[in-house]
Structure 1
Amino acid sequence: MTQKLENIKACVFDAYGTLFDVATSARSYSEEIGQQWLDFSAMWRKKQVEYTWLRSLMGEFRDFWHVTGDALDFTMETYNMYNPALRAKLMEMYLKLSLYPEVKNVLQKIKGRGIKTVLLSNGSRSMLTSAVRHAQIEHLLDGVYSVDEVEVFKIHPAVYQLAVDKLGIETENIAFQSANSWDVAGASAAGLQAVWINRFGQKREKLGFEPKCEIRSLMQLPDLIVE
């Protein structure tokens, strides 16, 4: 039986892959990329995440826009298709990623219960501002927190502590939602009530910290929160 989330005063959401579909950019230019666009998109995302971890370990922070561009360059070179015009279009589309279809409804339900809703993301301030405005969800969020403020990426504990400090709410009263299993492990290690949105039926990371709840869609989240 799925556990419930108790005494929740704030729901903190990851952005990329959780609220926003990171495949939007490559999908939008799939004809130019070719039949391999889905694999191309997956590699771009994989390198993007890897570079955040590596830069955190190196102590060499560059914002997520820079990291995303580096990951795209690696991917385009790997596919032997480097094209400055296409690169520019793919990067621009990353500022206008599509929401998963259930997101607005879920945010409305949670806010309607008097629970704060915020984003906590690796994204740079400008990237997040653009994505939130394009998706027209500003009114559904009480805050947008970027790792730019701590200059280290997830899953460093300082990132999750940023949300705790900004909200002024105890860790045990915060639910953290992410579609990334490694992100959920980081939040769980930081003491948050972590929820894994396992849309694609993936296996859990072996990091020693489990989600409190695992669901297949954000639509299931409101029913997990008990008064």
Structure 2
Amino acid sequence: MSSSINALVFDVYGTLFDVYSVKEKCDELFDGKGEEISILWRQKQLEYSFLRQLMGQYEPFIDITRDSLKYAINKLNLEYNQEKELVLLEEYKNLSHYPEVETVLKEMKPKKLAVFSNGSRDMLEPLIQNSGLSSLFDEIISVDDIKQYKPTPASYSYCLKVLGLEREEILFMSSNGWDISGAKNFGFKTAWINRNKLPIEELNQKPHTIYKDLNGIMEWK
């Protein structure tokens, strides 16, 4: 399967790193409300990025992450303050990566490896550095460089430009169905890392392959 694939491109949030690993810190600060906060926080984080793209009102992902956290806390009628905000935003730089990630990346290293994320560099670079995975990646690509969130075609086009490859040379991986749909629409080969056993999005962009975790991509060696 790998003969034409020269680069493996990974989404970050939900694909390599567990966004819900903030739950424990949320629990500490908000007396057992961590699960509710983490779920609503992520939901609004995605929603705000899509809405700002549609509205033509781009803001870096760190600001969207802050705004969505504030919304989640207010929605749950909890006490919001800047000190707690700073603690939780810092936690986003220390998310847990999924158990198989490091092993799979090392096995696939002969190929070019890159991350491509809606995250801004002030979130992505510390996260990857703190995880101990930075030496395994050839490129860290952020949509913040061009102010175009995935799944816009412009965002995937920028990724392609940075890598200097043809579309068919790239295997793009994400746990987010909407991201896979956008990448497939653009022309990337796609592998949906369906960690949550969800149905395929009804966007007429079926993934090329589907795996339950990143171990599945080993067949692209």
TM-score, structure 2 normalization: 0.96
Asked whether the equivalents of residues 51 and 71 of structure 1 are also in contact (C-alpha less than 8 Å), the reply is: yes
Percent identity among equivalent residues?
36
Q: Letter of the aligned partner of 1:57 in structure 2?
A: L
Task: Indicate yes or no: 2:71 matched with 1:62.
Answer: no
Q: Aligned residue for 1:7?
A: 4
Q: Aligned residue for 1:53?
A: 50
- Gaps of at least 5 residues in structure 1 are none
Show the 5 A alignment for 1:1-227: 4=1, 6-84=3-81, 85-111=83-109, 114-223=110-219, 225=220
Higher relative CO (CA 8 A, sep ≥ 6), structure 1 or 2?
A: 1
Query: Distance between the aligned counterparts of 1:195 and 1:135, measured in 2?
Result: 23
Asked whether the equivalents of residues 25 and 91 of structure 1 are also in contact (C-alpha less than 8 Å), the reply is: no
Deviation (angstroms), 1:34: 3.4
Query: Distance between the aligned counterparts of 1:82 and 1:146, measured in 2?
Result: 33
* SS at structure 1 position matched to 2:190: strand
Asked whether the equivalents of residues 26 and 38 of structure 2 are also in contact (C-alpha less than 8 Å), the reply is: no
1:21-55 deviations in whole A, cap 9, x for unaligned?
10122223313323442122111001000001001
Query: Distance between the aligned counterparts of 2:2 and 2:171, measured in 1?
Result: 7
1:80-99 deviations in whole A, cap 9, x for unaligned?
11331222211110111111
* SS at structure 1 position matched to 2:90: helix
- Gaps of at least 5 residues in structure 2 are none
Q: Letter of the aligned partner of 2:64 in structure 1?
A: V
1:105-125 deviations in whole A, cap 9, x for unaligned?
1111111xx210000000001
Q: Letter of the aligned partner of 1:219 in structure 2?
A: N
| 1:201–1:217 CA distance, 2 compared to 1 (3 A) | same
How many residue pairs are counted as aligned between the two chains? 220
Asked whether the equivalents of residues 156 and 186 of structure 2 are also in contact (C-alpha less than 8 Å), the reply is: yes
Query: Distance between the aligned counterparts of 2:53 and 2:2, measured in 1?
Result: 31
Query: Distance between the aligned counterparts of 1:169 and 1:104, measured in 2?
Result: 25
* SS at structure 1 position matched to 2:197: coil
Asked whether the equivalents of residues 70 and 80 of structure 2 are also in contact (C-alpha less than 8 Å), the reply is: no
* SS at structure 1 position matched to 2:93: helix
1:133-163 deviations in whole A, cap 9, x for unaligned?
1001111000000011110111001111111
1:148-185 deviations in whole A, cap 9, x for unaligned?
11101110011111111111111011000000000000
